[in-house]
Every structure is written in C-alpha cells, then in structure tokens.
Amino acid sequence: MAMTLEISIADRAAILAHAAGSDHEICGLLLGQGSRVDLVEPCANVAADPARRFEIDPARLLAAHRGARRGGPRVIGHYHSHPSGDPRPSPRDAADAAADGSFWVLVAGDVMTAWRATASGALYGRFDPVPLAEPGCAASPERPLDG
C-alpha cells in the first residue's frame, strides 16, 4: 500500500490561512509520528529573498527537535507556499532538499499537495507525490480544503 500523509482538516485550514494573501513564501513545521501530522507549527521565513525562497527559522527548528528528544512529536517535514506558482516542488526545492524521507507540503492558492523527499523521486529526481488524507478517511493526491 502506498504511503499517505494523514493531516486533519483543521491543520490543513491552518496552513491555508497562514498562506492566504501573502506575497511571500510562508513556511512551517509538520510535527507528528510516521506519516501522521499531529501539529503544524508556523515559522518565520528567514530567507534573504522570502518572495522567492523559504528558510525555516533555525531557532524554531532546533526547538522542535529538542522537544522531540523530550518526548514530544517529531519533525516529520515542513510546509511552504508558492504564492505565484503551482503546488509542486520547484527545481530549487529539489536542489535544497535532502533525500531523507521527510514530507513536503506545498500550497498555491487553495490547493495543497504533499511530497516525500527521496533519493530517486519521480519529480526532479528528488520528490515523490504522496496522497493527503484526513485521519481515518480515504486519500486524495490533491484536494482543495472544501474537497
């Protein structure tokens, strides 16, 4: 069975709200276990050019890893937006991504997609698409919030 990223409607709505109306790329962490998101944590985009790139605030990332070592949810990936693009990773995303199996959730407008960073992904040799599902529901590869 193919891997599915489980993420609640509330967490999807939080990500879409974070991205809504921003002309800069927004970003945040996906915290949970395995392929289940238990918490989304918005982070500051500290990239030098946030209109075209994203970089998660390193202090927030380190704090999340420390929290996981103390028994909290693990960092299983992150999310970011493409305000004037499409909801797929870009070639720049692929160049920046480690092949570590982490999840990447991308938002453009009201569309959200999920990807996994792998050593030989179907997209740019780095990303494989991952269906999104609400916990306990069937998956869909790409679904607006109201879908």
Of 34, 32, 37, nearest to 13 by C-alpha is: 37
* pTM of the predicted protein model: 0.90
Q: What is the pLDDT along the chain (147 residues), one digit of tens a residue?
A: 468 999 999 999 999 999 998 999 999 999 999 999 999 999 999 999 999 999 999 999 999 999 999 999 999 999 999 998 899 999 999 999 999 999 999 999 999 999 999 999 999 999 999 999 988 665 554 444 333
Terminal-residue alpha carbon distance, the chain: 23
For residue 59, count other CB atoms closer than 10 A to its CB.
11
Domain 11-124 is in which class? Answer: alpha beta
